[in-house]
């Protein structure tokens, strides 16, 4: 494995991704990692990430200098390189000319790190400080117009430093440089595959759980489904999944889940129909945040009541992903706001004295998808678009009634069917319909109608933090609109949302 020490760079997840793309396991650790823990991890190489600080700032992040005595190769990137040079007795100072963005890298003394990298190649810089003097044993390897020490190396001790960012797309040969570090310098083997990972995790779960029981809240999304199947493969019927039908799900969602998990995968599923428990307190509520609060609270109550009936449950399993973990531990505290809390049964483990199992906590979303496929989940489940915990409640704008939910459900089913058929389901981040709280006049069969309006929303995005409206073909939009108005009673107008995030959000509420 490779350990990335996180000095707060916005790119450190990208470094981990790149390493894993080469089938080498990689883990991000905070700078204050205990040296004994680092030794137990037994990394084959250490990457010191970049970061926004200057090494001379009082509170700039540091890691133990003992990492330089482990005999393990170290690659410092940007601030990580400056930290290494400074720690080993070299000099770092404010650069005369700060360098941001594109620069031409001239490789003067290639060495193993620059195998198969041309003599001149573009690189991407972002720094205010620069190296002024190298520690003993180091020599310069590459330069840019403004930076004589754009790459440095002490091949004897296997220490390398890059002032530029090899992990970003704007450094086209960056992947090759990282590859050289992993395989030619650290001697890693590309054997970290999802199949191997699944095998390891399943064995681990079996050992942790022993003969005890595990409960899990199954939502129908990718993360909880993959978590459930992994644990099921490890301990079979010792796992009980609780699927709460809150009455706010998509058409046939409950039946589909039962069919797959209960009948097909033979898992132990408790299906709790709690429609009225959710819809009663939601009656007349139109404020979106109030809706979320009510749904979150009822979910906890329903889940807890069901969980209590499962005797000798010792563990609660959750589909927490790696970005959530990194964000909460990052050197500079990440944007925790993207972690949604309503579906988080976070209070439960303490209250019920449950221990947590989070088998996906080292994976990124696309890795979870690969893992899901590797353990046999069907492709259409693995590639589901995100669906918000409060479900259709925040897509029925205004008052939530069974009737309005039923209208939206039919519309949503048509939309998804058409988007899939046109090959856009995987191309967009999310595509859904919103039922508006206003009516408009129409004419159907020579008769005046006064009915509901549906807004269609489809966005492209990488992480839901920003999004753009999807440029769906007009023909497709026309077909969807036609079908909705013809097939769903109570709708006489369809509009398409052409706002991006920011300043709008993806959901309407």
**Active-site annotation, residues:** 78, 165, 167
**Which of 99, 224, 389, 488 contacts ligand XMP by CB under 6 A?**
389
Structure token pair of residue 484: 């909705």
Q: How far is the CB of 381 from ligand XMP (least distance, A)?
A: 17
Per CB under 6 A, contacts with ligand XMP among 477-506 are 501, 505-506
Angstrom distance (rounded) from CA 382 to CA 270: 22
Q: How far is the CB of 263 from ligand XMP (least distance, A)?
A: 27
Look up tokens 């933090």; give the residue.
Answer: 465
**Which of 20, 141, 292, 369 contacts ligand XMP by CB under 6 A?**
292
Instruction: For residue 412, give the 3-state DSSP assignment.
Output: helix
Residue 238 and residue 314 in contact, taking contact as beta carbons nearer than 8 Å: no
**Which of 93, 168, 265, 464 contacts ligand XMP by CB under 6 A?**
464
Task: Write the binding mask 430 to 459 for ligand XMP: x where contact by CB under 6 A, - elsewhere.
Answer: x-----------------------------
Angstrom distance (rounded) from CA 148 to CA 106: 10
Residue 282 and residue 295 in contact, taking contact as beta carbons nearer than 8 Å: yes
Angstrom distance (rounded) from CA 98 to CA 263: 62
Angstrom distance (rounded) from CA 244 to CA 306: 10
388 is an interface residue for ligand XMP by CB under 6 A? yes
Nearest CB to ligand XMP, comparing residues 146 and 499:
499
The window from 144-152, 318-326, 336-344, 407-415 that contacts ligand XMP (CB under 6 A) reads: 336-344
Q: How far is the CB of 83 from ligand XMP (least distance, A)?
A: 35
Q: Considering only CA atoms, which of 164, 170, 174 is closest in space to residue 18? A: 174
Q: How far is the CB of 3 from ligand XMP (least distance, A)?
A: 31
Residue 266 and residue 238 in contact, taking contact as beta carbons nearer than 8 Å: no
Q: Considering only CA atoms, which of 64, 11, 8 is closest in space to residue 37? A: 64
Nearest CB to ligand XMP, comparing residues 122 and 221:
221
Q: How far is the CB of 300 from ligand XMP (least distance, A)?
A: 14
221 is an interface residue for ligand XMP by CB under 6 A? no
Residue 59 and residue 39 in contact, taking contact as beta carbons nearer than 8 Å: no
Structure token pair of residue 384: 């589901």
Q: How far is the CB of 246 from ligand XMP (least distance, A)?
A: 12
Q: Considering only CA atoms, which of 289, 251, 275 is closest in space to residue 394? A: 289
Angstrom distance (rounded) from CA 431 to CA 66: 51
Structure token pair of residue 420: 């899939």
**Which of 122, 386, 442, 490 contacts ligand XMP by CB under 6 A?**
386
Angstrom distance (rounded) from CA 313 to CA 238: 9
18 is an interface residue for ligand XMP by CB under 6 A? no
340 is an interface residue for ligand XMP by CB under 6 A? yes
Using CB under 6 A as the binding criterion, the count of chain residues that bind ligand XMP stands at 14
Within 10 angstroms of residue 486's Cβ, the number of other Cβ atoms is 10
The window from 79-87, 109-117, 337-345, 355-363 that contacts ligand XMP (CB under 6 A) reads: 337-345
The window from 100-108, 118-126, 179-187, 386-394 that contacts ligand XMP (CB under 6 A) reads: 386-394
Strands (E), 45-169: 45-48, 74-77, 91-107, 120-133, 139-143, 151-154, 159-162
Q: How far is the CB of 389 from ligand XMP (least distance, A)?
A: 3
The window from 45-53, 114-122, 222-230, 384-392 that contacts ligand XMP (CB under 6 A) reads: 384-392
Chain positions contacting ligand XMP, by CB under 6 A: 292, 340, 342-343, 386, 388-390, 430, 464, 501, 505-507
């Amino acid at each position: 494995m490779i350990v990335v020490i996180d000095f707060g760079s916005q790119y450190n997840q990208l470094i981990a991704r790149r390493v894993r793309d080469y089938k080498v396991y990689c883990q991000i650790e905070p700078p204050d990692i205990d040296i004994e823990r680092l030794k137990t991890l037994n990394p084959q190489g250490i990457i010191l990430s970049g970061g926004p600080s200057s090494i001379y700032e009082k509170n700039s992040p540091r890691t133990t200098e003992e990492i330089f005595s482990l005999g393990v190769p170290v690659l410092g990137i940007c601030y990580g390189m400056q930290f290494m040079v400074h720690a080993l007795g070299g000099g770092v100072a404010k650069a005369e000319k700060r360098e941001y963005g594109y620069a031409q890298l001239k490789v003067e003394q290639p060495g193993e790190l620059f195998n198969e990298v041309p003599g001149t190649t573009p690189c991407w810089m972002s720094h205010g400080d620069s190296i002024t003097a190298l520690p003993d044993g180091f020599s310069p390897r590459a330069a840019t117009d403004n930076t004589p020490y754009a790459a440095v190396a002490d091949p004897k001790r296997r220490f390398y430093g890059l002032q530029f960012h090899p992990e970003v797309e704007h450094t086209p040969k960056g992947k090759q440089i990282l590859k050289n570090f992993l395989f030619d310098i650290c001697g890693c083997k590309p054997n970290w595959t999802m199949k191997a990972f699944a095998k390891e995790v399943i064995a681990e779960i079996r050992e942790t759980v022993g003969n005890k029981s595990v409960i899990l809240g199954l939502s129908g999304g990718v993360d909880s489904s993959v978590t459930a199947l992994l644990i099921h493969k490890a301990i079979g019927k010792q796992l009980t999944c609780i699927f709460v039908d809150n009455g706010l799900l998509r058409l046939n969602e409950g039946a589909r889940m039962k069919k797959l998990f209960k009948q097909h995968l033979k898992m132990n599923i408790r299906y709790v129909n709690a429609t009225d428990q959710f819809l009663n307190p939601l009656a007349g509520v139109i404020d979106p945040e109030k809706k979320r609060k009510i749904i979150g609270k009822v979910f906890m109550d329903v889940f807890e009541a069901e969980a209590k009936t499962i005797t000798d449950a010792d563990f609660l399993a959750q589909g927490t992903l790696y970005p959530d973990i990194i964000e909460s531990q990052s050197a500079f505290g990440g944007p925790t706001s993207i972690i949604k809390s309503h579906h988080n049964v976070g209070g439960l483990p303490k209250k019920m004295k449950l221990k947590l199992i989070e088998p996906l906590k080292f994976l990124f979303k696309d890795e979870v998808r690969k893992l899901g496929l590797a353990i046999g989940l069907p492709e259409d489940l693995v590639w589901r678009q995100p669906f918000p915990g409060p479900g259709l409640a925040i897509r029925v704008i205004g008052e939530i009634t069974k009737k309005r939910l039923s209208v939206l459900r039919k519309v949503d089913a048509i939309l998804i069917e058409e988007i899939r058929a046109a090959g856009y389901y995987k191309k967009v981040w999310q595509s859904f319909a919103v039922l508006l709280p206003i009516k408009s006049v129409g004419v159907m069969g020579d008769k005046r109608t006064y009915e509901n309006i549906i807004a269609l929303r489809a966005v492209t995005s990488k992480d839901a933090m920003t999004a753009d409206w999807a440029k769906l073909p007009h023909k497709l939009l026309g077909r969807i609109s036609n079908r909705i108005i013809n097939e769903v009673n109570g709708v006489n107008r369809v509009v398409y949302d052409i706002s991006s995030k920011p300043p709008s959000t993806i959901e309407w509420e």
